[in-house]
Amino acid sequence: MNKPKPTSASRIGIAVVGAGYWGKNLIRNFRDHDAFDLRWVVDSSPGQSFLAIGGESFSTSIDDALNDPLVTAVAVATPPNCHEDHALRAITRGKHVMVEKPLATSVEAGIRLVESAREANVTLMCDHTYCYSPAVLYIREALEQGMLGDILFIDSTRINLGLVQQTANVIWDLAPHDLSILDFLLPPSLRPAAVSAIASDPLNIGMYCISHLTLELSQNVIAHVHVNWLSPTKVRQFVIGGSKKMLVWDDLNPAQRITVYDKGVTIDQANEDPAERAKAFVAYRTGGLMSPALSDTEALRAVLDEFARSIDTGKPSRTDGNTGVRILRLLELATQSALNGGSMMRTAALSNE
């Protein structure tokens, strides 16, 4: 027998603004979540009113939702160029806000949102959904426990055929996923020190469709991100090379999303002279492999759990507004680098706390 849902008075009144591809997923999850009372669906198209099938109100104006005294939180899933406007309007009305990636379309806009949320004493959270997936949570725990040893390299591939966007290039469309995952996983000692990107527009549509990003981390470690709208195959793969073990996350393989390989390279550590170390004997270690069992919890459900906790406790979420600004800064630097032929762009301090 199903447990009865808490009364509306004990739940967080929520409005979803934007009922497109991602908005539909938010609507479904908020409707089923015990901590939230979905009260409004807002979309600029009146034709989306059919989505309010759970008793929610529908409007083409965010103001109708903001005027509802029982709405205490807003989830923004509109096109990125509308994120700042909708989020800022909600924040200034004292509403807690969750914004899908990217947080805004510029670092300046992101900082405005963070500062406004701080002044209004409300939660500002980025919906970096992958960071709450069972696979990424497992990887984070494995890194914290030292399972892989020292990180030697990271390679991420996110390619498929479509969807070619009209308002954002492939860097701003796909790379936020990978950059937010890296931000979530990497310890402070491995924060990006520089970023470079090469990108191309082979369709001549005035929008980058393919890009390769390289992030220079500390300790001679680099992370590489490949994003592409034009690949005939869909690949979602994340590889971490460690000094002890190596890990592959294949998000399109539900039967074996993560594989940990007992493989690596061993060199003579006795000689501290780099010139002599380069001549040292290199041994390749090949051992077994392990595929951990992961829960089948939907990542977006975990995002909503985190949003509710942040609202209830007042503590920042693991992907708060400052996280969003760090990702925006990397996106801006990558875009600048691509425009400058792939030149390496040094990062300033990426923390805004």
C-alpha neighbours within 13 Å on the C-beta side of residue 87: 35
Residue 264 is predicted with a pLDDT of 81
Summarised one tens digit per residue, pLDDT across range 146-174 is 999 999 999 999 999 988 888 899 999 99
Percent of the chain with pLDDT over 90: 81
CA distance 257 to 201: 32
CA distance 188 to 218: 10
Query: By the 8 A CB rule, do 125 and 307 touch?
Result: yes
Summarised one tens digit per residue, pLDDT across range 303-319 is 999 999 999 999 999 99
Summarised one tens digit per residue, pLDDT across range 270-281 is 666 666 666 666
Burial 128-151 (b: 16+ CB within 10 A, else e): bbbbbbbbbbbbbebbeeebbeeb
CA distance 286 to 306: 39
Summarised one tens digit per residue, pLDDT across range 85-115 is 999 999 999 999 999 999 999 999 999 999 9
Residue 275 is predicted with a pLDDT of 65
Residue 287 is predicted with a pLDDT of 84
The overall average pLDDT reported for the chain is: 92
Residue 2 is predicted with a pLDDT of 44
pLDDT range class, residue 192, cuts 50, 70, 90: very high
The CA R_g of the chain, rounded to the nearest whole Å, is 22
CA distance 340 to 343: 6
Residue 276 is predicted with a pLDDT of 66
What is the set of domains in the chain, with CATH numbers?
A: 8-128+299-320 (3.40.50.720)
Summarised one tens digit per residue, pLDDT across range 213-227 is 999 998 789 999 999
Summarised one tens digit per residue, pLDDT across range 251-272 is 999 999 999 999 887 776 666 6
* For range 322-329, the mean pLDDT: 97
Summarised one tens digit per residue, pLDDT across range 327-347 is 999 999 999 999 999 999 998
